[in-house]
Structure 1
C-alpha cells in the first residue's frame, strides 16, 4: 500500500468513526483502524475523542495490547500513574518483549522525576527493539533532565547515526555542546557530519552559529552561505548572516539579507528591528524611523522595539516624540519597568518634574531598586517642595543601601531644611564617616545649608 492510499484509508476510517458517534450506530473497525484513529486524535490534542475511541476499540477488541497501551498513555497524560502502572504490569505478563511497555514505564518514572530509573528501563528496551533511534532519543532527554550533557549528547548522536535527517537530535547535540562550552568540538562534529551530508542546511546553520560564538565571522559567513545554497528559503540562515554582516559593519548587505526574510514569510519584528538599526547606523534617519515604527506595529508587545524607537528619538533630542512613543508602550504594558525608567528620564529632560517623579516612583514600586532611582526621586521631591516625602523616600532607600554617604548627605540637608537639627546632625556625621568627599552633594543640592553656621561648626569639630 502506498502512502497516499494509506492516508486515504485513514481518512475513511475517521469519517466513518465520527459518523458513528453522531448517529449512535455501532460500526465495526479492526484494531489497526482504531489505533490510527486514536493516534490521530492524540496528535490533534483531542483527548476526549481519543478516550471514546479507546473505549469502543477495547469493547470490540478486548485483548488488544496496543489499544490497552493507548489507555496507559491517557492515564499518564491525566496523571493517574497508579492506574497506568497496574495496567502496564498486566500487559508485561502478556507481552514481556513489547518495547512500548518499557517506553510507557519509563514515561511514568520520568513523570515521577525518577530519571535514572527511566534510563534503566529504556536501556532494557534497546535489546528488544529493531529500530533503536527513538529509544536513544528518549534516553537523551532523560539525561538532559539530569543535566548529564555528555551522556545526553552521546545518546542523541546514536539517533543521528541511525537517521541522519533527524534534525531534532542534531539540534539537541549542538545544545549539549553549547551548554558544555565546547564550540571547537561542536565545529569538529558538524564538519564530520557535513562530510557525509554536504547539503544539510540545518548543519551549515549550526556551524555558522558556532563560528559566530568564536567571533570567526568570515567562516560564519561562509557557513551561512552554504546553508542558503542548500535551501534558499531558509529564513534562519538569512537572519544569522545579517547579524554577522552587522558585526562586520556591512550594514547595507545586512539590510539586504534581513529584507529577503520579509519576502519569504510574514515580516518578523526581529528582522524589522535589525533593518531599522542598520539604517540608523548608516545615517538614514527617515528610513530608520520608518522601520522602527513598523517593528512596534508588527509586534506591540516587543519591548526592544519601543525602547529602540524611544532611544532613537532621544538621540535626536526629540524628547516630545520620545515621550509619545514611551507613553504608547506604557499603555500596552504598564508593568514594564524599563518603559517607566525611560518615561521618568524623558520627563526629567523636558523639565516635567511631577511626571518624572511619578515615573521613578513607579520604577521603585515595580521593585527595581537601583540607587540612582532613589536618589533622583528624592531630588525631584525636594525640588517640588515635598521635603518630608523626599526624606521618607531616602529612609526607605537605606534598607537596600545602608551606610551610603550619598543618601546620608541628602538626609542631612533635608532635615536641616525641616529644622530637625538633631536628625540632620546625626545623618551629617554618618555621611562624613562613610565618605567625606561626598560633601559636594550638600554643596550642590543645599548651598545655603552648606554655608550655614551649623554645618561649619560640625566641620570644625570633625577637624
Structure 2
C-alpha cells in the first residue's frame, strides 16, 4: 500500500510538472493554483536547482501577485543562497500588503543575523513586538531572547524571557531558559518574584516551583529551596532534577541523612551517574562510615574511571582510618591520572611519613614544591617533613627558598625557630620565635605541635606570655 501511495504521489508530481511546463509556454490548459506552484517551487529547491526554483517563483507571482506564501518561499530560497539583499527586497514588497506577518518578520531577523548585524536584528524584533499578540508574540519574544544572547546583552535575555512568562506563564522553553539566566545574571531575587507570582496563579506549574527552588538555593536559602522542591515533586514525583537539587541543599545544610534519603530516590528514578554516587559517598564520609563511602566512590569511579578526584577521595577515607598503605595506593591512582597535582603528592607524602618512610615522603614533598612553588602549603609540607626527619640544616635552607617564592610568613618563622632550637642555637631561635609571634600569634600551634617540650623552656614561655598580654 505504501508503494502504491508513493507511486500516486510521483504520478501527481509528474503531472504537475507537465502542467507547469505548459504554463511556462503560455498554454491555457496548464492553469495552476497557488498550492500547485508551491509544490513545484519546493521540488526544484529540494533538487538543489535554485535557478529553476526562483524562475517558478517569478512565474507564480504573475498569477498570484499578493500571495504571502509565494513571496516568503522566494525570500527563503534567496536566503539559502546567501542573496540577502535580494531577499530583503522581496520582504519589503511583501510587507506592503502584509505588514504583520510573523514568518516574514522572523526571516528578516534571520537575514540580519546571517550578516552578523545582531544589534539591528534585536532592534527590528523590538520594533515589531507590539504588532503581534498571543502565541505569535511569544514566538517573536523567544527569538528576540536568542538574538540578545548573540548580542551578549545577557540582562536583556532575562528580561525578554520574563516578558514571555508574563504572557504565557506555562511556557516550557521560557521557564527552562530563565532558570539559567537568573543564575548567570545574578538576578535570583527577580527570579523569586517572577516564579512566586507564577506559582500563585498556577500552583501546579512544576517548572516554576523548580525554578523558585533553584533561586532560593542560589541565595543559600536552603530550607525555602527544599520547600519549593517538595512542591515540585508533589506535582511530579519523577522530576529527577528536583531530587538532585534537594539533596545538594540538604548536603549544604549538613543534613546528610536527609540527603542520602533523597539521593536514594533519585537513583531509583534515573540512570546511574557518577556524580550521584560521588554525592552518596560524600554523605557517608561525613557520617564517618568510611566503608560505605568507599563503596559509592568506587561505583562512581567505574562510571568515570578518568576522574582523579574520586580516587583521591577514596584515599582520604583510608587515611581517616589510618590505613596508610591503602591510602597511598588510592592517592597514587589519582596522581597517575593527574601527574601535575601537588595536593596528591602531599597526600602520598603525609602517608609515607606515617609509615616512617621519610626519604620517600620527602621526594613527594619536593615534587609538590616543584609543581606549586608559589604555594605556601607545599613548602610547609616539605619543611615539616625535613624537621620530623631530623634534617634541620636542610629545613633552614628550604625555609629561605620558600621565602623567596612566597614571602615572609609566620609559619616559616615558627619552623625556623624550631629547627634552630634543635640545632642548639637558642638565641637565634628566640629571635625567630618573636618575629613569628609579631606576624601571627594565632599560628603558635604550628610551633608547639612540632615539639610540646619547647613550652617547658622558661625563655620560650615568658616570651609567649608577653605577647599574649598585648
- Taking structure 2 as the reference length, what is the TM-score of the superposition? 0.65
Consecutive unaligned residues in structure 1, runs of 5 or more: 14-27, 36-52, 73-86, 418-426, 447-463
Q: How does 1:160-309 map to 2 (within 5 A)?
A: 160-179=165-184, 181-246=186-251, 250-309=255-314
| Deviations, residues 149-202 of structure 1 (Å, cap 9, x unaligned) | 543322112233455444342244344443554544322211211234333322
The 2-side partners of 1:250 and 1:151 are apart by 38
Q: What corresponds to 1:402 in structure 2?
A: 407
Q: What corresponds to 1:46 in structure 2?
A: none
Q: How does 1:366-385 map to 2 (within 5 A)?
A: 366-367=371-372, 369-378=374-383, 380=385
- Mapped pair 1:119 → 2:113: no
Shift of 1:237: 1.1
SS in 2 for 1:346: helix
Contact kept in structure 1, 2:374 and 2:406, CA below 8 Å? no
The 1-side partners of 2:293 and 2:283 are apart by 8
Contact kept in structure 2, 1:160 and 1:169, CA below 8 Å? yes
- Mapped pair 1:67 → 2:99: no
SS in 1 for 2:407: coil
Contact kept in structure 2, 1:261 and 1:267, CA below 8 Å? no
Contact kept in structure 1, 2:247 and 2:259, CA below 8 Å? yes
- Mapped pair 1:310 → 2:308: no
- Mapped pair 1:335 → 2:340: yes
Q: What corresponds to 1:102 in structure 2?
A: 108
Shift of 1:212: 3.2
Is 95-104 or 229-238 further displaced after alignment?
95-104
SS in 1 for 2:406: coil
Contact kept in structure 1, 2:342 and 2:378, CA below 8 Å? no
| Deviations, residues 209-237 of structure 1 (Å, cap 9, x unaligned) | 23334555444333222211322221111
The 1-side partners of 2:191 and 2:447 are apart by 58
| Deviations, residues 84-120 of structure 1 (Å, cap 9, x unaligned) | xxx21221122224324432344246x5xx6544422
Consecutive unaligned residues in structure 2, runs of 5 or more: 11-37, 58-73, 96-103, 423-427, 452-470
Q: 1:326 aligns with which of 331, 334, 337?
A: 331
Q: Aligned pair in 2 of structure 1 residues 196, 322: CA closer, same or farther (>3 Å)?
A: same
The 1-side partners of 2:381 and 2:260 are apart by 40
SS in 2 for 1:301: coil
The 2-side partners of 1:260 and 1:220 are apart by 18
Shift of 1:346: 2.7
The 2-side partners of 1:190 and 1:117 are apart by 31
Contact kept in structure 1, 2:256 and 2:287, CA below 8 Å? yes
Q: Aligned pair in 2 of structure 1 residues 397, 247: CA closer, same or farther (>3 Å)?
A: closer
Q: Aligned pair in 2 of structure 1 residues 127, 108: CA closer, same or farther (>3 Å)?
A: farther
Shift of 1:343: 2.6
Q: What corresponds to 1:451 in structure 2?
A: none
Flag the structure with larger Rg: 2
Q: What corresponds to 2:86 in structure 1?
A: 90
Q: What corresponds to 2:48 in structure 1?
A: 56
The 2-side partners of 1:436 and 1:281 are apart by 35
Contact kept in structure 2, 1:405 and 1:431, CA below 8 Å? no
| Deviations, residues 373-423 of structure 1 (Å, cap 9, x unaligned) | 1243245467779899867755553443234465579789999x9xxxxxx
- Taking structure 1 as the reference length, what is the TM-score of the superposition? 0.66
